[in-house]
Structure 1
């Protein structure tokens, strides 16, 4: 039977080939994107592994070996919002550990740079970046030591005494092989650790495959309706209704197999493109986009099997009579129990608010099953909601078109909902995706600080620690060079207050002293009390992200000359906001005071912004994929529905029903489930997003912006337009020849 079905699938001329290609194309797109998603997860894992060495020296990341110790001083620098990893090293013997990507350790006065940093150094004035790094470049860091082609990293050779003087310098006998659990300020390269991205990619995989399966089912129904005469001939020679269904299901399975093969080819073709998409804020190496054997086998076997099941379910109530009439067995009315999967999915997502699993794998399983249950619940409960809405409208309408449409929907709500199932799923995915993105953006998008704060640069000991070695003073030549930078506006020196003349901060930070003349140059952090010469300030609050120009600092009982003789804890400089001015000042401070770190407000949110950018990219991929497939599914479903009902419509036309009445019936039958279940899908999308955000980020849901409502309105309008575009088919398929007895 299967061999016979395969022959029939390809022996119908252009029409059969077009049908196969239509289903295969949809499967190919879904499979290609699904494989890209799986490969993205693998790429994140491999990128994480190759950056572990950057955490050498962090507690819990490095195991002891018998190698010669290596003096190691690592830090994270920034340039125009991009992170630059720097490791200063000094070997104590020939067996000192060697970072991956290097053939030898650099000698004092030498350094190795990553390809991206090497290019940046060539294209950037030295006063903005290159002057920070001592010595000369003698080589390039290899791919083995870089998580991404965009990684900015360098390994600098120094003497042991020079490394010892650096903050957090230590000796190590091996490089890090694990990422510590307590990985915050002291961890390097953790910005693309990607646990959250793995979780989101897992959910995206489910979001991509559902619309494709819906499309396969609707295309199979259309195929059955358009091949009615051939199926009737098969029935005349003794085929059973079940065998006819098998024939149609085999065609869809064949198309799915072809589409799966094409999907692997599409994945191979898209690999360079996917590698260039900065999902984690940086691009992937194309070689990292690999598939595991279980992933590949799961797609090869799972997609055709899912297609066969979708096709078989789509035809389970369709019977072709020996005279060529497609008839549908009237189904039992759906019960309210169909709401159970939807309620279960929402309940599962709600349970994990406050009970989030500890591991990434546990979170992936929890949220994946929750979102899949919700999407499955929308599909399962759609017929019941359609029936309830149709009955309610039928009780209140007296118009013939509305009455016929509602009675037909109430009689077979599954058929009415099936045509819009793809659009409903797309609206759910769109709503959940954009709601999550809007909320994350609202909570993290302003981390760069207020506009005036973004113009400032702060140079302070690493971590602004109280026990750090402070600058005895700032040479006049450094201040003169700072003032000579184009775009410089002002600078204030925050001196140590060892006598505690100011009040100690509630955070335990030793207060600082600033002359009021200096403070007047940086009004964004506040001002002195009237008549004061020196202000007592909290250094911790000086590095805040809000404009504090209205803050009044208390006067300190010391003279300006006495304060000027105290060690300098912090330099706070303001500019006109130009990137060149900020980076020149940063380079100057880093070169003159290597045991301090110069930071801009945008640096503190660099990792968060990279993740946010990656989530925006994923949102675009999901939206650009689900919406077109949903639109195609809607068009195919409406046409399939018309083909299924051409005989009843032809009989109505023979009894005198005008064509415009039938068009209103078809329009209402499609529009009611679309609008009713879409409202549920949108509300469910917001609810699922709210629970996901609360569980993962402890964020309250923020309403999406106008772009979401515009996109949703456009999607619904386009769906109604697709329905309207199929109505002219009624005239062609409901002629007298379609009214034959069956």
Structure 2
């Protein structure tokens, strides 16, 4: 029977060959995209599994390395800097290096080497002493875009620097990323969201000309073929198309793969050799896709399996009832009402919300056929021609079949819309980098004795002798405006006791000279006649710029004026206003000469950069959602194209007879277009509306007092609209096929 099935598949005429080609192409699209998702997931797993040598923190009094790790910034990117000295035999080596650098040498990552060649020395190169000795290999990097440098020193020079420790072994454990589970869940969700439309696409492909095959298989049953034999023949037909589709899908993945390495999916690119599915991924697809195609084909022929006479006993299935919308309404009410009524408690007990969300997604799929039927009735009520009437009648006749083609799209649009609406809301609730008056202001804190220098006699921050040259260098940079913040004098009775002030890291009660404050208006205005005032700078080091903006100005009308000479006090913190990115990098280059004095809890960054770092995760989610929405819509469009082609083949006879009786070809075109576009638009609108309804209470739960209406980012809206237009264009491209199969000269054969 397998040989007979192959014969029927490959040598049954043009119709069978066309069905085989369409099935293979449909499967190829889904397989190629699914392999791309698996390849990116493998690259992500490989990246987070690399040893985190930067995380080395275990001291060893007998270790062979002096280790001083720090981070710096350049143009919004983090630079990883390791200053190291060899003090013993058999020293460990950083992954990606053949040997540790000798004193006066350094190794850099390829991206940083390129940057050093293209950037003026006073903006970057002057931060690093020594000469280039080599390039760090991929084993020591997370991404080809990583900016990493390992600098060799004399032991005597490095031992005097703060934060230097002696280590015996470099850590080889992977990064402890708090977002690892989140990203793994995101990849899994992406694969599932893409898998559903792909299964719909495969199912539609295997159902092409299902009615005509049912008649053929029913005739075989009538002449003595057993049910198992029909199953074998039908399975061979489906599996052959699926296997060819898998082979073409692997070829499509090979074509797409070069573009994958340029996608900064998580904010950075992956190494090219890691972007590949695992061997088990290939085997799984090679086995699972043909199996799914065979199962879908057998399900489509269930009437033949019951009885060959079941093919002849065709009847219009009962219309979907309104009860189908009840689970969706219950799920929305269960999810929305408790969250809106008590946002805080919903964050603490999310179990009910999760169950309600599952009910919403299930109810969305259950209500789909009823929605399609209602759309058909609306179309029939407002019909203006024969094409609308025919399309409405077709949708009403079998809304379940019409909805099946777009069912995979609904969950993707619903989840995508909810996430796309939440991302801007989350960013807006925490970050106002583009409107903050301090966006282009760098802030840096200097060492604090209570954290790093337990000696009570140690001076906090830069002494006047150290601060003077630094301020002069910064003032000499065109476009830089330094504003020093001084430690209060112990003689000032307005300073609160240490356990009362908001001393959360750098900042706290600081003194600013009013002449300096005038150069940075965002700080506020001093009281009349004051030369210097006390300001509470504890909010300077928050990464939530909306909270910072609400706190501004630091200098208030009731700020305490002090008569003490602030310049005699140590500089605890420094703010520098810059007018360009080049100016900012020159300032950071100057500050790199004071690395031993800068607080290890603070990298010299502008307030805008701090806000961008906080928002980066949300922006990554937004990018992923947009990409996923575009890919899902593409697969859904292909599924619709296959469904419409199969529908036209199924209705070859009635369409031909309509043309014989005088119906114009344009009328048939509009009929087919309407009966496919209507479910597509209805499903998209419903799914987007449900997604927005879900996003609003979540946004209120995150920040009850800040959120009004939440709207997706424009990029998502454009992607959604563009995807719908492309889907319609794909459907329209299939319409000329209708002209060929309904030619009037073929009517005598029907």
Specify the TM-score bucket, using the shorter chain as the normaliser. Answer: 0.7 to 0.9
Which residue in the other structure is 2:461 paired with?
470
Judge which range, 544-553 or 97-106, deviates more: 544-553
Give TM-score scaled by structure 1 length: 0.81
- Alignment check: 8 A CA contact 1:449 1:601 kept: no
Alpha carbons 1:426, 1:630 under 8 Å: kept: no
2:592 aligned counterpart, secondary structure: helix
Match for residue 456 of structure 2? Answer: none
Deviation at 1:611, TM superposition (A): 3.5
SS in 1 for 2:264: coil
Distance in 1 (alpha carbons) for counterparts of 2:248 and 2:735: 33
User: Are the aligned partners of 1:102 and 1:142 in contact in 2 as well (CA < 8 Å)?
Assistant: yes
Matches within 5 A, 1:338-737: 378-387=364-373, 390=376, 409-424=395-410, 427-428=413-414, 430-432=416-418, 434-443=420-429, 446=431, 448=433, 450=435, 452-461=437-446, 469-473=460-464, 474-488=466-480, 490-499=481-490, 501-504=493-496, 506-508=501-503, 510-542=508-540, 545=545, 548=552, 551-552=555-556, 554=558, 556-559=560-563, 562-576=565-579, 578-596=580-598, 597-605=603-611, 607-648=613-654, 669-670=675-676, 672-687=678-693, 702-713=710-721, 715-716=723-724
How far is 1:276 from its partner?
2.7
Q: 1:153 to 1:388 in 2, by over 3 A?
A: same
SS of residue matched to 1:34 = helix
Determine if contact 2:695/2:710 at 8 Å carries over to the other structure.
no
Work out the CA distance in 2 between the residues paired with 1:598 and 1:585: 9
| Cα distance in 2 between the residues matched to 1:300 and 1:575 | 57
Aligned alpha-carbon RMSD (Å):
4.6
Q: Is the 8 A contact 2:60 2:166 kept in 1?
A: no
- Is 1:279 the counterpart of 2:265? The answer is yes
Q: CA deviation at 1:306?
A: 1.9
Tell me the CA shift for residue 669 of structure 1: 4.3
C-alpha distance in 2, partners of 1:265/1:600? 47
CA–CA distance in structure 2, aligned partners of residues 697 and 272 of structure 1: 42
User: CA distance change for structure 1 residues 140 and 733 in 2, over 3 Å: closer, same or farther?
Assistant: closer
The answer as to whether partners of 2:486 and 2:572 remain within 8 angstroms in 1 is: yes
**CA distance change for structure 1 residues 443 and 91 in 2, over 3 Å: closer, same or farther?**
farther
Q: For each residue in 1:469-492, what CA deviation from the matched residue of structure 2 results, as whole angstroms up to 9, or x when unmatched?
A: 41112454433322222322x222
Aligned equivalents of 1:433, 1:288: Cα separation in 2: 28
Distance 1:67 1:300 in 2: 55
In structure 2, the partner of 1:40 is: 40
Q: Is the 8 A contact 1:229 1:324 kept in 2?
A: no
Q: Distance in 2 between matches of 1:171 and 1:357?
A: 43
CA contact (8 A) 2:630 2:723 kept: no
- Report what 1:187 is aligned to: none
Instruction: Verify the 8 A CA contact 1:279 1:618 in the aligned structure 2.
Output: yes
| Corresponding position: 1:289 with 2:275 | yes
CA deviation profile, 1:517-553 (whole Å, cap 9, x unmatched): 1111222222211110011122333456456469536
* Alpha-carbon distance in 2 for matches of 1:695, 1:7: 62
Match of 2:295 in 1: 309
Task: Please tell me whether the aligned partners of residues 342 and 378 of structure 1 are also in contact (alpha carbons under 8 angstroms).
Answer: yes
Match of 1:8 in 2: 8
| TM superposition shift of 1:439 | 3.8
Distance in 1 (CA, whole Å) between partners of 2:659 and 2:227 is: 29
Q: Measure the CA separation in 2 of the matches of 1:263 and 1:667.
A: 28
Distance 1:672 1:75, change over 3 A: same
Q: In structure 1, how many angstroms separate the alpha carbons of the residues matched to 2:216 and 2:279?
A: 41
Question: What secondary structure does 1:298 align onto?
Answer: helix
Cα deviation, residue 423, structure 1: 5.0
Distance in 2 separating the partners of 1:501 and 1:179: 51
Q: Secondary structure at the match of 1:207?
A: helix
Q: In 2, distance between residues paired with 1:36 and 1:665?
A: 36
Contact 2:369 2:403 in 1 (8 A): yes
The question of whether the paired residues in 2 share the 8 Å contact of 1:279 and 1:613 is answered with: no
Unaligned runs of 5+ in 1: 182-189
Once the two structures are TM-superposed, the CA of residue 141 in structure 1 deviates from its matched residue by: 2.0
- Structure 1 window deviating more from structure 2 (163-172 vs 36-45): it is 163-172
Deviation track 1:14-38 (CA, whole Å, cap 9, x = no partner) reads: 6544433332233233223323322
Which has the higher mean CA deviation after the structures are superposed, 288-297 or 321-330?
Answer: 321-330
SS of 1:304's partner is helix
Matched residues, number: 718
TM-score (norm 2): 0.80
- The equivalent residue for 2:457 is none
Cα separation, partners in 2 of 1:552 and 1:74, compared to 1, 3 Å:
same
Match of 2:152 in 1: 157
* Residues 578-604 of structure 1: per-residue CA shift (max 9 Å, x gap): 111010011101214532142222442
Judged with a 3 Å threshold, the aligned counterparts in structure 2 of structure 1 residues 651 and 425 are, in CA distance, closer, same or farther, namely farther
1:330-381 C-alpha deviation (Å, 9 max, x unpaired): 44555667669868998999999989999xxx99xx99x9999876764454
- Which segment drifts farther, 377-386 or 230-239? 230-239
* Range with greater deviation from structure 2 (199-208 or 161-170): 161-170
Deviations 1:79-118 (A, max 9, x none): 0100001122234321444322223333333322222112
Aligned match of 1:209 in 174, 187, 195? 195
Q: Relative to 1, partners in 2 of residues 1:104 and 1:397: Cα closer, same or farther, differing over 3 Å?
A: closer
Judged with a 3 Å threshold, the aligned counterparts in structure 2 of structure 1 residues 464 and 738 are, in CA distance, closer, same or farther, namely: farther
Q: CA deviation at 1:75?
A: 1.4
**Residue of structure 2 in register with 1:105 after alignment:** 100
Distance 1:115-1:696 versus aligned 2 partners, 3 A rule: farther
Q: Deviations over 1:552-578 (max 9, x none)?
A: 365555436x211111111222122x1
Please, which runs of 5 or more residues in structure 2 have no aligned partner? 454-459
Query: Does 154-163 or 694-703 show the bigger shift?
Result: 694-703
Query: CA–CA distance in 1 between the matches of 2:713 and 2:126?
Result: 44
Shift of 1:414: 1.5
Equivalent residues of 1:216, 1:311 under 8 A apart:
no
SS in structure 2 at match of 1:87:
strand
